[in-house]
Amino acid sequence: MNKIILHSLLSLMVILALGACENEQWDDHYEQSDNRLDTDLLAFIGADPELSTFYDLIIQTGFDKLIMDDQAYTVWAPVNEAFSSVPSEILNDPERLMDLIGNHISTFSFASTSQIENGLVKVLNNKYIEYLNDEETGSFSGVDVVSNDNLCSNGIIHKISDVALVRENIWSYFTNSDDFTVMNEYLAQYNVTLFDTLNSVVVGQNSLGQTVYDSVFVESNSYFNLIGDLDSEEERYSLIALSDDVYNDAYGLISPYFTHPDVEVVKNRTNETIYNNLNFPWIDTDIHTSGYLTNTYGNSLFVDQSLLANEVVLSNGNLFMPESYSFDPKDLIYKPVRYEVENTDRREVGSLSDLTINKVYDVSASGLFTNKIIFIGESLNDDNNFFEVSFSNVLAAKYDLYIKYSPVGATKETLLKFKVSITGPDGTSEYEIVPEDPINNYLDERVKIGDTYDIPVYIDDEASNNYHVKVKVMMDVEDAAVVLYDRMVGIDYIELVPAE
């Protein structure tokens, strides 16, 4: 018992001694911090001989007035020798120099112990810069921090070993490059000039009582509505930018799916497919090697290392310049084309008084509805026994045809037959299919109808389109066979499925 008490007392004395040492260290730290807190940011920089060049440039650009006020700032201050590598065209250009100095100052306090969302800090030129902070080391825009947490009365200074040059954003880099001529020309047609409501100033009203502005306008691009604003510093993207050669490869891969007599249809649909699918939420190449990613257009595409070649790190993300085009058409456009039978668009019924199509709620059905098709006429014939659907947005490619059956309360099996009509530039091809077996009234699965169909032409979604893929579903229970078969069947949807 005495040994236990003695051991406990010794442990307590060690803890108290260590605590006293730690308190002394913290006291020293706070004494140093308190001394620094008597000095503002500008005075601290001006008193440090290693920062004299940076100090002069702060005065030259007018930021001295800013960092003397009571607002809390963080300054990443490059040492003198760092400026020897800055191009003279930046140092001699007032606007670019102001942008450069603003690239090193933030209106928030970021210490080496601060928790920073995504590791990004917003600086005065509205760029976001990666700050990897650490109590011992750290980096700012990839530049080493050589002395951190220099506390001042109105903020914090971290000394860095080099100048953090201003990075272009994705849109600026892309439009100023000569590497993407065809892609640049395509996107340039969507350039627009927009009224800037945020920066325009109200100056009064006119005689009609309408607000009059000292107007400010900004250049933008309406294609951003589809793929994301590549000119915004508030979002981070990864753009796969195509050189002219890679674009030609992509065009050669995609355009056959849009085969059409009108060359403008081919060109427009192919370009839309290519350019709509090149932008992604920011891809971290340290994490992503290959696999499926969802782009800003909503397609899930397989992105491998070949597409992430020649990375350029930019202020709002990164840009890649692949040497080949490897997206799979089945991910881009060559997908199943489904017709929900309850949809009345492009659906024709032989006789509304003899054949009814009733939408039935079914939690397990596609779109939560299936369809009860019933022949209620007195006598069945080829004019009143069918409904026909017409597909749209069908590619010039090979498809298999499937019908999804579902049970809807029929008491007996039924008989159906089908006609597939494909109209292209060279006329119409028709295929009649009569299943060998009756349709079981409890069938709840997808069944293939006929062989593979080779569609010769792209069929768009225009109602006036001259080209068609139509599927006619016909009740085939003759009057004499109603004692053996039901004239009711459940069909959820009809679908064309890529066959290649």
Q: What is the tens place of the pLDDT at every residue in 66-111?
A: 998 888 999 999 999 999 999 999 999 999 999 999 999 999 899 9
User: For residues 107-119, b (16+ Cβ closer than 10 Å) or e, as one string?
Assistant: eeebebeeeeeee
How open is the CA angle 378-379-385, to the nearest 5 degrees? 110
pLDDT band at 207 (very low <50, low <70, confident <90, very high): confident
The pLDDT value recorded for residue 29 is 41
The answer to whether 318 touches 332, Cβ cutoff 8 Å, is: no
Looking at residue 342, its pLDDT comes to: 96
C-alpha closest to that of 343 among 495, 499, 497: 495
Q: Is the Cβ–Cβ distance between 377 and 354 less than 8 Å?
A: yes
Q: Token match 């169909």: residue?
A: 453
**Geometric angle at alpha carbon 164, from 230 and 153, rounded to 5°:** 110
For residues 85 and 163, is the Cβ–Cβ distance under 8 A? yes
Confidence of residue 464 (pLDDT cuts 50, 70, 90): low
Q: What is the pTM of this model?
A: 0.84
Q: Which residue has the higher pLDDT, 21 or 132?
A: 132
Strand pairing report for 291-294 and 279-281: unpaired
Predicted local confidence at residue 219, as pLDDT: 85
Q: Indicate the SS3 state at residue 318.
A: strand
241-254 pLDDT, tens per residue?
Answer: 999 999 999 999 99
**Considering the chain, what is the average pLDDT of its residues?**
91
Q: How large a percentage of the chain has pLDDT more than 70?
A: 92
% of residues, the chain, pLDDT over 90: 80
Q: Buried b / exposed e across 231-250, counting CB within 10 Å, b at 16+?
A: bbeebbbbbbbbbeebbebb
Cα angle, residue 48 at apex, residues 43 and 54 outer, rounded to 5°:
80
In this predicted structure, the answer to whether residue 350 has a pLDDT above a threshold of 50 is yes
How far apart CA 244 and CA 324 sit, in angstroms, is 11
**Does position 25 have pLDDT exceeding 70, yes or no?**
no
User: Is 474 or 117 the better-scoring residue by pLDDT?
Assistant: 474
Q: Which helix (H) or strand (E) holds 224?
A: helix 224-227
Where is 105: in which H helix or E strand?
strand 105-106
Classify 446 as helix, strand or coil: strand
Gap between the Cα atoms of 480 and 201, Å rounded: 83
pLDDT number for residue 200: 79
